[in-house]
Structure 1
Amino acid sequence: MTTQQLYAEIIRKKSFLCIGLDVDLDKIPPHLLATEDPIFEFNKAIIDATHDLAVAYKPNTAFYEAYGLKGWHSLEKTINYLNEKHPEIFTIADAKRGDIGNTSAMYARAFLEDLAFDSVTVAPYMGRDSVEPFLAVKDKFTILLALTSNGGAFDFQTQKAGDGELYKTVLKTSKTWQNSENLMYVIGATKAEYFTEVRKIVPNSFLLVPGVGAQGGSLSEVCRYGMNDTVGLLVNSSRGIIYASNDEDFAEKARGEAQAMQQEMEAIIIDWQLSKALD
């Protein structure tokens, strides 16, 4: 998938919603536990109920790795289902990898080639040679952790480093790496006041934005400071959507929560389009 195709899907659906598929067996509806693969059955129901509202899905791989081989198999079935049934939807392996070059190359092969995700999240701390193996995979995207939504982000990411904060150094330095046009960035919604600074450095990149909803981030604030000429945002919601109900109506309730977010996004996109037309 290209960014142009992703933008076209955003405009078609009037949505930039990404749904996080972070499946905890202790939280899913009990009736699913009797099925052969509860994790996949849960994901399939969520996808079937929301695919017309979302432009991206983001399984956090920790929620699958925690269940060993069975969990990994559920992740494989989930991405295969998405790629077969909804190839127009952008997929994100939220794996937060990053290691020495030959190891990163194997991670890239695992997520971008074998599992065939469109993108993978990567930690930048080890620098160029730990990230470029991901960037080398043709027609795939690397989503770099830049300014995250957790409270501990302030421990390092906003500390002074040279002429500015560390997250700015990450953004600026990453633009010098080979195939940097394949970069996207994680910028937390709980840090909405930073989006103006982020856009000064990476005006054209897509930003994956966690933290709206359960973590308290404001969608309107994120859009006010973070949207660019191609919208440029993928706003993620996980728990607020997928765990809207613990009963047999869980997929219907998830759709209701997703639709509420999509409708808010639709209003924002319409206003944004009108604004562009007037400029």
Structure 2
Amino acid sequence: MNALQKLNNKLKNNLFICVGLDTDIKRIPSHLLNKSEPILEFNRIIIENTYNYASAYKINFAFYEKFGSKGFQYISQTKKMIPSDTLVIADAKRGDIGNTAKMYAQSIYDELNFDAVTLNPYMGYDSVQPFLEYTEKLNFILALTSNKSAADFEKLKLADGSFLYQQVINKIKEWNKKGNCGIVYGATNKDDLVNDILLFDDLPVLLPGIGAQGGNLEDVVRLFITNNKRNFIVNISRALIYLDDSSEFGDKINRYMTYLNEKILQITNEN
């Protein structure tokens, strides 16, 4: 089963939540610190309590790479905990010149065997092309991000009146000849999303920014569903995995995921 098939199978079952594993050892419940591998134990509990309700998982490489070679063991071992029918995204935001990009692609797709990756396109086509050669994978390319400084470059206005990030989306559609491109679009600004949603066409959309960064889940889901678009996943990281630090945090995360999916299902049934 290729990456897009994994994703579509989940979306058909009204599963739109992507669980972000931004695991920070300083924030995990203190009772886990007595375990031999606290990070892996934390991730295991998160995964076991979310996989029935998740469309995908996104492993944020920065939180693991900080541990050096040990961190890559954490990445690999965490990925093995996730059911094989579920999309797993390497949130690595790779983007470099062709030869270097080729090595990054081999690392993420051949060695670590991820289904998908996040990519930074600002060095142009040759920085993403090696990833696009993997036709069974899915490449989420940064368009409009959810951070406050996105306006520094992404929202620069061009001579034709469009924003730079909108031209990036148009370029990604050109690159999508093999049907393995998606976009990353920050869900923190509803007005931007209202203006851009038809620009996405059929590209799968990864939406960060819900929860801790201020995006509203119901607004975002309703906007996609009312525009007859179901090819989106909403990433929730900190607002989900750190919602409780007691010994019962797994159960509470399970209940919260159930609640989120019920809210989404209600919206889809209304439309």
The answer to whether TM tops 0.5 is yes
Greater mean alpha carbon deviation, residues 220-229 or residues 62-71: 220-229
Give identity over the alignment, percent.
40
Q: What SS class does the counterpart of residue 173 from structure 1 fall into?
A: helix
CA contact (8 A) 1:123 1:144 kept: yes
Tell me which residue corresponds to 1:106: 103
* Matching residue's letter, 2:7: L
Q: Which moved more, 1:69-78 or 1:122-131?
A: 69-78
- Number of the residue aligned with 1:220: 218
Task: Name the residue aligned to 1:174.
Answer: 172
Name the residue aligned to 1:60: 60
C-alpha change, 1:56 and 1:78, in structure 2 (3 Å) is same
Partners of 2:239 and 2:197 in 1: how far apart? 27
Which of 140, 149, 163 matches 2:146? 149
1:240 CA drift (Å): 0.9
Q: Return the alpha-carbon distance in structure 2 between the equivalents of residues 138 and 35 of structure 1.
A: 40
Corresponding residue for residue 70 of structure 2: 70
For structure 1, list consecutive stretches of 5 or more residues without a partner in the other structure: 273-279
Residues 179 and 106 of structure 1: CA distance in aligned 2, closer, same or farther (over 3 Å): farther
Tell me, in whole angstroms, the C-alpha distance in 1 between the residues paired with 2:91 and 2:224. Answer: 21
For the residue of structure 2 that corresponds to 1:106, the secondary structure is helix
RMSD (Å), alpha carbons: 1.6
TM alignment of 1:44-59, pairs within 5 A: 44-59=44-59
Matches within 5 A, 1:1-279: 1-12=2-13, 14-82=14-82, 86-163=83-160, 164-177=162-175, 179=177, 181-227=179-225, 229=228, 231-272=230-271
Q: Which amino acid aligns with 1:27?
A: R
Aligned residues: 268
In structure 2, the CA distance between the partners of 1:152 and 1:173, relative to structure 1 (3 Å rule), is same
Do 2:3 and 2:87's aligned partners in 1 also have CA atoms closer than 8 Å?
no
For the structure 1 residues 210 and 156, does the alpha-carbon distance in structure 2 shift closer, same or farther, using more than 3 Å as the test? same
TM-score normalised by length of structure 1: 0.91
Q: Secondary structure at the match of 1:176?
A: helix
Greater alpha carbon shift after TM alignment, 125-134 vs 242-251: 242-251
Long gaps (5+) in structure 2: none
TM-score w.r.t. the length of structure 2 is: 0.93
CA displacement, residues 48-85 of structure 1 (integer Å, 9 cap, x when unaligned): 01111111111110000011222211111011221xxx
